[in-house]
Amino acid sequence: MTPSLLPDYPTRGPAQPGTVYLVGAGPGDPELLTVRALRIIAQADVLVYDHLVSQAILDLVNPAAERMYAGKQRGNHSVPQDDLNLLLVKLARENKRIVRLKGGDPYTFGRGGEEVETLKENGVPFEVVPGITAAAGVAAFAGIPLTHRNHAQACVFVTGHLKDGSMNLDWPGLARRRQTVIIYMGLNGLSYLCEQLVAHGLPADWPAAIVQQGTTANQRTVTGTLTTLPELAVNAGLKAPTLIIVGEVVKLKDKLTWFSETG
């Protein structure tokens, strides 16, 4: 018999009825789930999940749990965010153990803050279970360190589209050397992103990479420069979800690669 994980560790106890658990599912590989996340999803009465949650992780959820798909693809939300916030309140008031399962980390471009605001306003108990955000997991599997003493002393996470669908970012702040910029959900705006970074001061040959479905069997990484990456991504036929990495650390990929891409 396999021994229990951390048998002597004082946990926060089992999932409680009437409580909403915002759980980070990590970047895709089920082995990157936290121990707390694994325990909570195994106890769910209701699962509300996004499209970024991999099937391998869904297979670990309590098989008796009612499942509700919330979508959350760009331009295609099965449940509008405001309605979803109120749905979580309704389900909790039915005295069920609710798991809101999100790809990556709930508080990193996962709209977890918006959902928790609504829960708090309605007096619903909740717990946030952090997950490995895509930036950390995908970069590691792609062989690209987010920071490095010789290349980057800072790391900036941004989203490739805002609430109104635009990409109105702090371009001067992003177009700086000695830092790594990670762009979530930026595939559709990749050409514009690269153009703006060059226009605001980065060299045209500045290293950049884009990773599709990082940490999974379908991972594919394309590297180039701010000038070449958009065309390379099109030629490779990459599809969301992707993560874009901009910075000198991209040059380390060939040296530090360890994960075999077969997709």
If we measure between CA atoms, which residue out of 138, 112, 148, 143 comes closest to residue 21? 112
Q: What is the pLDDT of residue 2?
A: 44
The reply to whether 20-129 and 134-256 are identical in fold is no
Domain boundaries, the chain: 20-129, 134-256
Which CATH number, 3.40.50.300, 2.30.40.10, 3.40.1010.10, 3.20.19.10, labels domain 20-129? 3.40.1010.10
pLDDT for residue 71: 77
Annotated active-site positions, please? 50, 72
Cα 232 to Cα 212: distance, rounded to the nearest angstrom: 13
What is the model's pLDDT at position 7?
Answer: 64
Residue 1: the pLDDT is 36
pTM beyond cutoff 0.75: yes
C-beta of residue 243 within 8 angstroms of C-beta of residue 28: no
CA distance 104 to 82: 21
Q: Distance between CA atoms of 182 and 146, rounded to whole angstroms?
A: 9
**CATH number of the domain at 134-256, out of 3.10.180.10, 3.30.950.10, 3.30.70.1350, 3.30.200.20?**
3.30.950.10
- Burial class from Cβ neighbours inside 10 Å (0-12, 13-18, 19+) for residue 88 reads buried
Low-confidence ranges of the chain (pLDDT < 50): 1-3, 76
**Cα(192)–Cα(230) distance, integer angstroms:** 9
